[in-house]
Structure 1
């Protein structure tokens, strides 16, 4: 089974996305729906996906769960809850008790948009992560190089919690970022409860002039550090369309892999997110 471990749906026709105010993101200011993605998955041989939140919104999380139940291809949802809420455990229980609550497999927050690089280490956030761990869910880390030290400390504090690092912590490929990113990424490879998504790299490269060869060193380093048993494919659709279409994203990853690997292309996502067979 081929699983896209990272995709989104967007509905700017009726919902405000604060991060979309950036004028360079204007091409994303239209709806991207399950009907748009379904033919792309079929053409690329992708059978299931993990649908990931885009707003700090419980309303969106509930909507994504409903979409998952109706889509026929979404196997799990990485939603959002306010980790700082003292009642976060109750909120999680309510979500999981919904008829479509079985699709909730993880949580995420746009940590890299927080002014405080140590946001993850706030006592109330740590308390919220404990609630996530108690319910057997995954926590996706959306961070950049700046937040990696706090991410490392958090992963170490919760050895029972499965963490997934989105987009390899977004190295600035267009500007050739390497040394500081790698220095802060390497210690995470020593944490057995963390996996990484080989996703979101085309939009960290030069959107107009990127080549698969630009992404390959970052993919190769991730494979060296984490091994193929802890890496997974993600398209980051439709955000990826700023730089590449869905088939190009999948092909760029496959071209960078030494050989086809079913673990990276699906098995790891099924295992980490505990997706239904």
Structure 2
């Protein structure tokens, strides 16, 4: 059963962006549900204890920032948007906010790790040049927080992750000790994305020394379709098969995150208990396949708030994951891994 005293939490997946840089986001429109500032001021409010709550408040010791899909132009090697994001993160890490950006100097302690964008498809040499540029923009203190990179695959053409340049880029990340964050979408793109990730991992590790093999972190359970009604659906079977296949690689971790976005709209409005019951088959597969030593808690804030509510979403997802711990009968040690230890291990966090 879950402990009465809350475990310290590392939130392994959050996004942040200030009002001043909204137009650099590739998905931004003025009427987008996330089309306003979401910085640390708003995040702190989301994780704050609910007044008069009878349950112990979650104890968040820090977070991993994941890139927010800024505008890029790979054909011209124009990466001003992602580099601007790194510059903004530098102001967070070094405690030097600009007025109105939604964070204070004290917030620096919360940023435990950063996963920026990187142009993997361009190949090894172009990637190395980009990393050098990113390191210069970040400065030593912020660069020390950079633990990996993401190139969002969910909206890219089939085959992107299997290109020679992409695989070469993954090997560069492994050599340098960086993680690769895997963002795919089975719900909208089908089983082909699952199959490509399995092959991508095999190719990235082929012929590479064990200590230089890149670590993969799967975002949001690879976004399964949570609108289906039964476990005999081909979509569920394909996803389940992929989870067990991917789990065979010990350098692959998975985030228990992002599932609110895959729910039917009506279910998003229900209680954490109702949501837990509805998605239990998927949760059970992940626990069985990966085990708590390779599963990490992530909120996917603020994306998790869409259709759920700014005040309730983070706490509701925390409650769902707490019920996972109960159902699986996790020991105190295993719970400590799921809430923080796995993230600490996968991202090689200090302390």
- Relative to the length of structure 2, the TM-score reads 0.73
Match of 1:3 in 2: 10
Is 1:27 the counterpart of 2:60? The answer is no
In structure 2, which of residues 302, 314, 318 is the aligned counterpart of residue 250 of structure 1? 318
Contact persistence 2:29–2:35 (CA under 8 A) = no
Distance of 1:20 and 1:185 partners within structure 2: 32
- Secondary structure at 1:103 match in 2: coil
* Residues 159-203 of structure 1 deviation map (CA, whole Å, 9 limit, x = unaligned): 311000000100010234412222333211111110000100111
Distance of 1:209 and 1:144 partners within structure 2: 20
In structure 1, which of residues 43, 47, 50 is the aligned counterpart of residue 61 of structure 2? 47
Is 1:102 the counterpart of 2:148? The answer is no
Distance of 2:202 and 2:30 partners within structure 1: 35
In structure 2, which of residues 91, 110, 118 is the aligned counterpart of residue 81 of structure 1? 118
Contact persistence 1:53–1:79 (CA under 8 A) = yes
* Residues 34-85 of structure 1 deviation map (CA, whole Å, 9 limit, x = unaligned): 1111243353311110000011423223323432443320100111121234
Contact persistence 2:121–2:160 (CA under 8 A) = no
* Residues 236-274 of structure 1 deviation map (CA, whole Å, 9 limit, x = unaligned): 000000143110011111112224511110000001101
Larger radius of gyration: 2
Contact persistence 1:65–1:77 (CA under 8 A) = no
Bigger mean CA deviation after superposition, 5-14 or 98-107: 5-14
Paired residues, what number?
Answer: 274
Gaps of 5+ in 2: 1-7, 50-57, 71-81, 96-106, 187-191, 206-212, 230-234, 269-274
Gaps of 5+ in 1: none
- Secondary structure at 1:84 match in 2: helix
Q: What is the CA distance between 1:132 and its match in structure 2?
A: 1.1
Q: Show the 5 A alignment for 1:61-76.
A: 61-70=86-95, 71=107, 72-76=109-113
- Relative to the length of structure 1, the TM-score reads 0.91
Match of 1:154 in 2: 200
Q: Show the 5 A alignment for 1:124-139.
A: 124-139=165-180
Match of 1:267 in 2: 341
CA-atom RMSD in angstroms: 2.1
Q: What is the CA distance between 1:94 and its match in structure 2?
A: 4.1
Q: What is the CA distance between 1:20 and its match in structure 2?
A: 4.3
Contact persistence 1:13–1:30 (CA under 8 A) = no
